[in-house]
Amino acid sequence: MVWMLRLTLPLAGFWLVLSGHYTFLLLSLGALTLVIVTWIAWRTDTVDRAGVALHLSPRLPLYLLWLAKEVFLASVAVSRQVWSLRPALRPAVDLTPVGDMSELSQVIYANSITLTPGTLSLTVDDNGVEVHSLKASDIGELQAGEMHGRVRRLEVR
């Protein structure tokens, strides 16, 4: 029963925030939709009973702020390269190690790399994240480990 609340309450809150319309009809349709989605999840047994990784939540907002700053700075750098007459692009593909990160942290790390303009996560496995970059120096920065360290600090051990 607890998993139903863990599924329904965040979905309801997310829907309310995104909807912005609070008429009786729309609230009723939203409630009906939540009941149907919860019933389908129960019938198909698709809900991971382990729950959501709420242990990340206290540190996640600071990480997201840092990531937003990095995305902005990388956007400016990529824009400069695109608009320059002689771009200094040296595309490269290399592996950045993940160490003993949990699967969730590996996914956060790989998605953070992909969100940052100029870099793209190609594959993720236990050896590391294969990264394509517009500049080889960007891979060097990833291998230096600042982003890796910040993702590691999200984990509660």
Query: Which structure tokens are listed for 49?
Result: 């009973």
Rounded to the nearest angstrom, the gap between the alpha carbon of residue 152 and the centroid of all alpha carbons in its chain is 14
Q: How confident is the model at residue 8 (pLDDT cuts 50, 70, 90)?
A: confident
Q: Hey, which bits of the chain come out as E strands?
A: 92-96, 119-125, 128-133
pLDDT at position 104 is 86
| Residue 25, Ramachandran bin (φ over 0: left; ψ between -120 and 50: alpha; else beta) | alpha
pLDDT at position 49 is 57
**Nearest 5 degrees, angle CA 117-CA 122-CA 125?**
125
* Whether the Cβ atoms of residue 66 and residue 40 lie closer than 8 Å to each other: no
Contacts of 74 (CB under 8 A, 6+ apart): 116, 117, 118, 119
Q: How confident is the model at residue 123 (pLDDT cuts 50, 70, 90)?
A: very high
Query: Which structure tokens are listed for 82?
Result: 């695109």
* Whether the Cβ atoms of residue 95 and residue 127 lie closer than 8 Å to each other: yes
**Distance (Å, rounded) from C-alpha 57 to C-alpha 69?**
19
Its pTM stands at: 0.69
pLDDT at position 151 is 92
Query: Which structure tokens are listed for 143?
Result: 């291998």
pLDDT at position 155 is 80
Write the pLDDT tens digit of every residue in 42-62: 888 776 655 555 566 678 889
